[in-house]
Amino acid sequence: MTQDSDGLSDPKAMRALAHPARLMILDRLAVEGSATATEVAEGAGITPSAASYHLRMLAKYGFVEDAPPRGDGRERLWQSVDAPLSVGVHPDDQPEVRDAKVSVMTAFLREANEAAGRAMAHVDREPDEWRDVTRFSRTRIRVDAEELARLSEAIEKLLEPYVARNRGEKEAPSGARIAEAQINLFPVVKRAAPGLPTEDHDAR
């Protein structure tokens, strides 16, 4: 997997990653640990053979790798590579690189929106303790670029002890479950003014 100082930079790797099934497979491996193609297939809603193909493609670009065997060792196990996935767009990016970055960021955002949508649709069926701590909010802040960078670093440090990849069931308190924190930090772009009606809009 090719990353620059600000994240992924290989267009082929990013295009390989920007696939719904592959993102679901990566999420499964990161949260629940090593698994076979058959085990990840169910969660991704695909066949085991399709899962095997996607796993091989993810391995080709360094997103997953073979995991230590279990049992009799006859099943091939996969695990996610312990490396953060991040993407940043730069003014000097070549068109191919920029297009690939936009594609993978769009895929990340789509997956995040779908996860939030499922949670919202299910929130009234959650136990009181979980419904009461579920939050969906937007906050406008006034910062310069340096402050926004520091805020991002502070949020990452705050979340670090709870990241599922690093905190197994044995380390978490009784009753812990997988939750998701979605943090988007970006400069606001003003909405375009709506177009005025034309003079002849009522013309027949």
The DSSP secondary-structure symbol of 75 reads S
Copy the structure tokens of residue 140: 């406008």
pTM of the model: 0.72
Provide the token pair at 49.
């053979």
Q: Phi, psi at residue 7, to the nearest 5°?
A: 125, -160
More confident residue, 109 or 86: 109
User: Domain limits at 116?
Assistant: 3-162
CB of 99 closer than 8 Å to CB of 14: no
With cut-offs at 50, 70 and 90, classify the pLDDT of residue 197.
low
The count of domains in the chain is 1
Question: Which of the 8 DSSP states describes residue 190?
Answer: P
Is position 60 within any domain?
yes
Tens of pLDDT along 180-189?
Answer: 999 988 999 9
CATH number at residue 55: 1.10.10.10
**64 contacts 79 by C-beta, under 8 angstroms:** yes
Residue 144: pLDDT band with limits 50, 70, 90: very high
Is residue 180 one of the residues assigned to a domain? Answer: no
Q: Is residue 123, in this structure, part of any structural domain at all? A: yes
Does the residue 149 lie in any domain?
yes
